[in-house]
């Protein structure tokens, strides 16, 4: 079957790989749509490598090429011998982490047992940690990792359940970590700053409005006109921080007041240098963006002195129902299906096939109007 193969940083080609064969507890799906994530760009550029050996040392692409793609949906084409809960032709989304539970291991690690199986000690991620991802025609996945897609939902929308699930999980982590400031209580959050108007930032904005029902000011800081336009569309206050002093710009936009809550959704390390200048003491900071390769902060004293509450997150939560259903994915799917969250409008670039998808990496992502790319067959 055809797949996009990343042989080394910057070298993405269309090639042939063996078609996967499902085991007893797996289903084989035909990939209907797959989104391009910032993580894919990081791996493509060589700034990140999450495929590691038993001693957590990165395995180079020269030793093991990768097939990327972890935001996807598909149609079930083959059932494993022990699969009873699904039927051929069913459209599904997929939790992209294989865990103790989905691999039917005899012992379950503490993370799977506590509902955090995205941190599974034996976990593996499609398209990220070496398992071939969805930049391919077919995939085999555990039958417990799939959730049925309701009629009427497009493949493009279904593919973006995964990034929305990641944002919902990050907000859950934020609630667990909240110290002084929260949306209700004696010290309410009045103003939120979202740094970055990319897909994640725009999903955070929509979740705060539509799910958290937050009615206060949400400033979205970015430099790209189209991202700022989308931020306004989704109920945010867009602020262009193209100049040299973003801290002053966002403070001015907020009437001079510092923020009780800041969500960092860029992965740009330089942002971390000025966030302490715009946050209130004991503010809640959500560090969501990945990368930070250009981090220049030489001292974290400003962060310590201000006693920030810091929440970090990775992926969509592994909370699992008794029947094995990944609950955060189910929540995200429901929010898209009932139109509380609009994922279609953040998709600026669509690709009909794998060969054309290469353009997202080599050309389109550098365009100022680019926000999100999706391949849909």
pLDDT in tens, 316-359: 877 888 777 899 999 999 999 999 999 999 999 999 999 999 99
Does the structure show a pLDDT above 90 at 113? no
Does the structure show a pLDDT above 70 at 89? yes
Q: For the chain, how many helices (H) and strands (E)?
A: 11, 17
C-beta separation of 329 from 148 below 8 A:
no
**Strand bridging mode 373-376 / 26-35:** antiparallel
pLDDT in tens, 266-324: 988 788 889 999 999 999 999 998 766 666 656 677 788 889 999 999 888 778 887 77
Q: Identify the residue whose tokens are 């279904």.
A: 158
Q: Which phi and psi (to 5°) does residue 143 adopt?
A: -65, -20
pLDDT of residue 195: 97
pLDDT in tens, 190-209: 999 999 999 999 999 999 99
Torsion of the alpha carbons at 49, 54, 59 and 65, rounded to the nearest 10: -90
pLDDT of residue 118: 84
Architecture of domain 165-312: 3-Layer(aba) Sandwich (3.40)
CA 128 to chain centre: 12
**Per-residue pLDDT averaged across 170-189, rounded?**
89
**Sorting pLDDT into bands at 50, 70 and 90, what band is 146?**
very high
Output 117 or 26, whichever has higher pLDDT: 26
**Per-residue pLDDT averaged across 53-77, rounded?**
95
H or E element: which one contains 79?
strand 71-79
Instruction: Tell me the C-alpha distance between 31 and 136, whole Å.
Output: 7
Domain map (residue ranges) of the chain? 2-160+347-376, 165-312
Percentage of the residues of the chain whose pLDDT score is greater than 70:
98
**Per-residue pLDDT averaged across 153-160, rounded?**
98
CA-closest candidate to residue 224, choices 195, 197, 254: 197
Inter-CA distances, 136 with 18, 82, 87, 254, Å: 10, 25, 22, 46
Beta bridge partners of 287: 264, 312
- DSSP for 314-336, please give it: -SS---B-TT--BHHHHHHHHHH
2-160+347-376 sits in which CATH class?
A: alpha beta
CA-closest candidate to residue 210, choices 331, 329, 294: 331
**Could you tell me the sign of the dihedral formed by the alpha carbons of 109, 113, 116, 118, in that order?**
positive
Q: Residue 58 contacts by C-beta under 8 Å, 6 or more apart in sequence?
A: 49, 51, 52
H or E element: which one contains 28?
strand 26-35
Percentage of the residues of the chain whose pLDDT score is greater than 90:
81
Instruction: Tell me the C-alpha distance between 261 and 284, whole Å.
Output: 5
Q: Residue 158 contacts by C-beta under 8 Å, 6 or more apart in sequence?
A: 32, 33, 73, 91, 93, 149, 333, 336
Q: Identify the residue whose tokens are 């002084």.
A: 180
- DSSP for 44-96, please give it: HHTS----B-TTSPBPPTTTS-B----EEEEEEEEE-TT--S--TT-EEEE--
3 state SS for 203-240: HHHHHHHHCCCCCCEEEEEECCHHHHHHHHHCCCEEEE
Q: Which phi and psi (to 5°) does residue 369 adopt?
A: -90, -5
Per-chain mean pLDDT for the chain: 93
HSE on the CB side for 138, CA within 13 Å?
A: 16
> Which of 125-129, 131-135, 267-271 has the least mean pLDDT?
267-271
pTM over 0.85: yes
Task: Give me 111's structure tokens.
Answer: 């993370």
Instruction: Tell me the C-alpha distance between 321 and 340, whole Å.
Output: 23
pLDDT of residue 320: 81
Does the structure show a pLDDT above 90 at 168? yes
pLDDT of residue 226: 96
């Amino acid at each position: 079957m055809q797949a996009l193969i990343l042989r080394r940083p910057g070298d993405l080609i269309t090639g042939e790989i063996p078609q996967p064969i499902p085991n007893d507890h797996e289903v084989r799906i035909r990939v209907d749509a797959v989104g391009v994530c910032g993580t894919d760009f990081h791996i493509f550029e060589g700034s990140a490598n999450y495929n590691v050996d038993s001693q957590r040392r990165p395995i180079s692409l020269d030793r093991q090429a990768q097939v990327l793609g972890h935001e996807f949906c598909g149609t079930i084409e083959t059932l494993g011998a022990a699969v009873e809960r699904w039927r051929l032709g069913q459209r599904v989304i997929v939790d992209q982490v294989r865990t103790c539970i989905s691999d039917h291991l005899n012992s379950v690690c503490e993370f799977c047992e506590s509902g955090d199986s995205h941190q599974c000690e034996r976990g593996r991620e499609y398209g990220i940690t070496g398992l071939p991802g969805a930049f391919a025609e077919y995939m085999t996945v555990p039958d417990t990792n799939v959730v049925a897609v309701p009629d009427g939902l497009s493949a493009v929308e279904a593919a973006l359940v995964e990034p929305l699930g990641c944002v919902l999980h990050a907000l859950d982590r934020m609630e667990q970590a909240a110290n002084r400031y929260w949306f209700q209580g004696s010290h309410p959050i009045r103003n939120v700053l979202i740094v970055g108007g990319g897909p994640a930032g725009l999903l955070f904005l929509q979740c705060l409005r539509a799910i958290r029902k937050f009615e206060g000011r949400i400033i979205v800081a970015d430099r790209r006109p189209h991202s700022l336009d989308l931020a306004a569309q989704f109920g945010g206050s867009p602020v262009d921080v193209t100049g040299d002093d973003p801290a002053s710009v966002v403070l001015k936009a907020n009437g001079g007041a510092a923020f009780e809550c800041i969500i960092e959704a860029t992965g740009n390390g330089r942002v971390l240098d000025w966030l302490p200048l715009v946050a209130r003491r004991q503010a809640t900071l959500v560090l969501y963006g990945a990368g930070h390769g250009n981090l220049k902060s030489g001292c974290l004293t400003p962060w310590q002195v201000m006693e920030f509450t810091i929440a970090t997150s990775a992926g969509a939560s592994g909370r699992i129902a008794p029947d094995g259903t990944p609950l955060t994915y189910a929540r995200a799917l429901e929010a898209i299906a009932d139109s509380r969250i609009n994922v279609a409008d953040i998709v600026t670039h669509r690709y009909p096939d794998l060969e054309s998808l290469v353009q997202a990496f080599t050309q389109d992502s550098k365009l100022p109007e680019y926000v999100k790319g999706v391949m849909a067959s």
